[in-house]
Chains A and B, each alone.
Chain A
Amino acid sequence: MQIDLSRFRAAFFVEAEEHLQQMETELLQLETTPKDSELLNSIFRAAHSIKGGSATFGADVISKFTHILENLLDRLRNEEFDATPELVELLLSSVDVIDGLIRNARDNEPLPAQFEAIYEELIKVNSKGSEVSAQPTAVQATNQPGTKTRFQIRFVPSTNCFEFGTDPLLVVREVKSLGTITKFVVDSSRLPSLPDLDPEHCYLSWLIELESECGKQAVEDVGMFLDGESKFEVTELEQAPQQVEVPTPEIDEPTPAKSKAESPKSQPVAQGKVAESETVRVDRNRLDVLINQIGELVIGTSMVEQDVMSLTDSMPPESLSALGKIVRDLQEMSLGLRMVPIASAFQKMQRVLRDLSKKLNKQIDFITEGDDTELDKSVVDQISDPLIHMVRNSIDHGIERPEDRIAAGKSPVGKINLRAYQQGGNIYIQLSDDGRGLDRDRIRQKAIERGLVQPEDALSDSEICNLIFRPGFSTAEKITDVSGRGVGMDVVRKNVEALQGSVTVTSEFGKGSTVTVRLPLTLAILDGLLVRLTNEVYVIPLLSVVESIAVDSSAIKEVVRVGEVIQLRGEVVPVLRLHHLLHIDEQSDVNQQILLVIVEDQGRRFALRVDELLGQQQVVIKNLETHFRKVAGVAGATILGDGRVALILDLLGLSSISTHEATLPQSVTN
């Protein structure tokens, strides 16, 4: 049965074009580094893939052309030629020709104009030096039909041939299918006595005489699947006389060895279908547009709800509430479309751990939990790098050497636990080890040396630990003499923050550390606290909100070098005047009571002064940069149920504006 291959041709053309693009880029690089063997190999492989595919999918012209090109590239990488500028030029033209050939094969465009000339040129260059076949491997020679040859075949399977999946009987059957068997001898002399017999070994061998129209090559090919130790010797006897057929002896069915060796195959094959859930690949952009559009639908629905409420001055009718629910369900489902398990990111850690623990000679048990925790695909893609940093850090600086661990009364085998779980609208990824933990004194000392903190600064325990995430805390060459950790942890923080997440560390000296990464479930939606500043509405990410309080204006104190602060259960918290930072006129009627929203970001707390709390709401984040430009202190914008635009505050940005007393561009809300 011949299967129609045309359906796979489209996929092949796409692949071939990718390979061509790669070849082109690399050939251009080759111009500057003509001796780069890595590059040459890669170019060769691309050509090689195109050749293989085109031959398989019946694009003969491409195959023929690429074959010559491949030969040339092969000799180039074997340094038979130099990659002279002229040669690179020729290779680049060849890429263009193949591109044209693809369009010829796919879209019925005419053959590329240069085709003949470049083809000739390739052959010419190729024929310099040693002889290279210009045609794909020749078809095997077969005997003239009608003339039969007699072969003697000695077939001695290796004792352990079953281990390679070889079934000698299949080979024997295959021989039989080639012609007429005139002699068939089973040699069982190697068969040991029953107690010595290993049922997984093969002890039999065969001597077969075959009369066939096939050539010797075809007969020898039968043996090509045998392992290296098996013998399959074919000797040509003489041309067979046209004589009466000798009846073919029946081939013995299973040897004792065989039935046993087969058993693994006859085991039930479960899973298979179950494991493969059907999937459809969808372009990421389309998905985003869909999700975005559904976000708009949610906003539109709540606008209608509000209009109806203000028109009728009563609760919206049931039908409208029902519609609202459907729309919100739809939104939830649409967000689920982008969700994938974090397993793929965790999988990579296994490898990192294996390689690094081997290199550092540390024994580590690595346990992952919650691999099936789902989060946004783009988050999963981008979390690998920070995770690798974290895992490397744990192995390098957390887990001690086996001898040190024994001395500390621990098991010589360290433990690293990587777990993911969902809590509320967040995904937490926790990496804990039972290593040496963080040495507070040294961290503090380092931070002072590097000018990150002042010697007189009073820091809480958690503030000290989290100093390791500060840029400049530690650099790679310093880390070896630091007993704590620190290499690249600022990079981890930066990457995690780019995903709207945060990272913290807790640690017990001598017992181990736990780094916790908090990530939003999705980057498209945010739980926000809506606040009013004079006439504008702003959104504070709810995740950062610790509490909100009303205090007497006298509770706010002015402190030198810090500005306004408030004392909150013994902790001094800086107060940010949002009006001032965002250039909004303050309300004239100064209340005695001041509303403060206490927020926490990067382990630091501060209080935001607002005029009114309007409530909390899920908002769809609109990127400000795509519509306007980046504004310091603003993370994005959203459209409220009444159609108004509200800016989402970027707390980290706000606090740095306040500390640097930089001025913010004019508010962009109108």
Chain B
Amino acid sequence: MSKIALVVDDSTSMRQMVSFTLQSVGFDTIEGANGCEALEVAGDKPLDLVITDLNMPEMDGITLIRELRAKPTYKFTPILLLTTESQDTKKQEGKAAGATGWMVKPFNTDQLLTVVRKVVK
């Protein structure tokens, strides 16, 4: 059974890129353009990985992580935060909200997969 990843980014190109990369290593992906959409598509489906952008309209990545972690289904799900802001405050905020880790944009697909392999078996 293939694993399912939720990819959240308000940039369509970014979302497609991440999804495509994950699909190339056998993930099924579902997508959301912001936190609200992400929560909607996730429903309460079990997920193997969540990759979310930080800055998004309607609901940002940090809030999304908090909302996901509040649900029992996603208590243990690895969540990666994508950010171009390398400031520590945002990373720490992400951590505190329950992010498993983060990736700093820009990254290439190899880097993405390396990080994904760290958190998903």
By a beta-carbon cutoff of 8 Å, the part of chain A in contact with chain B is 1-3, 5, 7-9, 11-12, 14-15, 45, 48-49, 51-53, 55-57, 63, 137, 162-167, 170-171, 174, 224-225, 227-228, 261, 264-265, 267-273, 275-276, 347
Contacts and interface: CB of A to CB of B under 8 A. Distances in A.
Interface in B103-121: 104-110, 113, 115, 118-119, 121
A444 to B, nearest CB: 43
A57 B13 contact: yes
B24 A264 contact: no
Contacts of A15: 11-13
Q: How large is the interface on B (under 10, 10 to 19, 20 to 34, 35 or more residues)?
A: 35 or more
B5 to A, nearest CB: 10
Interface of B: 1-4, 10-14, 16-17, 20-21, 24, 28, 30, 40, 45-48, 55, 73, 75-79, 84, 86, 92, 95-96, 98-102, 104-110, 113, 115, 118-119, 121
Given A48-B55, A52-B106, A56-B14, A163 B119 contact: no
Contact of B21 (A3, A271, A347): A3
Contact of A264 (B1, B13, B76): B76
Given A165-B100, A275-B30, A52 B109 contact: no
Contacts of A275: 30, 45
Contact of B13 (A9, A174, A228, A261): A9
Given A3-B109, A5-B109, 16 more contacts: A2-B110, A8-B17, A11-B12, A11-B16, A15-B12, A63-B106, A162-B76, A165-B100, A174-B118, A224-B101, A227-B95, A265-B76, A268-B1, A272-B2, A272-B28, A347-B40
B48 A56 contact: no
A3 B106 CA distance: 15
A3 B20 contact: yes
Contacts, number: 129
A372 to B, nearest CB: 15
Contacts of B110: 1-2
A590 to B, nearest CB: 64
22 contacts: A5-B108, A8-B13, A8-B17, A11-B12, A12-B13, A49-B11, A51-B84, A52-B105, A56-B14, A56-B106, A163-B76, A164-B95, A165-B79, A170-B118, A171-B118, A224-B102, A225-B100, A264-B75, A264-B76, A268-B1, A269-B47, A275-B30
A103 to B, nearest CB: 17
Given A52-B106, A269-B3, A1 B24 contact: yes
List the 6 closest pairs (A to B, CB-CB), nearest first: A225-B101, A55-B106, A12-B13, A11-B13, A165-B78, A165-B100
B86 A137 contact: yes
A273 B28 contact: yes
A272 B106 contact: no
Contacts of B115: 225
A228 B92 CA distance: 7
A424 to B, nearest CB: 31
